[in-house]
Amino acid sequence: MYRQGDLLIVRAERPDRQPNAVSGDAVLAFGEATGHAHTLSAPEVAVWRGEDGQVATIAVRGDGVLTHPEHATIVLPPETVWRVLRQREHAPEGAVFLRD
C-alpha cells in the first residue's frame, strides 16, 4: 500500500475487461489546486477507468515510478496491479475529491 498526497495505491486483481489505455506513462490524477499531476512512468502501464472517468486500476510492467512535484517519488514493484483511490472530503453538495 502506498500514499502520495490525495492518492492511495493498494494491490488489486486485474479487471476482467480490457484496459482503456496502454502506454509508457499515465496521469493518475491532476491537482486541481496547483495544476500538478500524479504521473506514473513505466515501460508499460495499462489503465482502467471507472464510470466517473477517473483512473481506477493500473497494471505496471517493469518498475513503475510515481511522481508529483510536491510529494516523494514512489517506485511500484514490476508486474503488479494496483487500485487507485482518491481521497474525498465532505462538502455541502456531497462527497467531493480532495483538492491536491
pLDDT value of position 91 = 57
Residue type for 60, please? V
Question: Which tens digits make up the pLDDT trace of 71-95?
Answer: 999 999 999 999 999 875 555 665 4
**Cβ atoms < 10 Å from Cβ of 33:** 9
Higher-confidence residue of 54 and 58: namely: 58
Distances (CA, A) of 79 to 44, 49, 71, 82, 99: 10, 19, 24, 10, 30
CA 4/CA 69 separation, integer angstroms = 11
Torsion of CA 11, 12, 14, 19, to 10 degrees: -80
Across residues 14-18, what is the average pLDDT?
Answer: 94
CA 13/CA 67 separation, integer angstroms = 23
pLDDT surpassing 50 at residue 96: no
CA 6/CA 31 separation, integer angstroms = 9
Predicted model pTM: 0.81
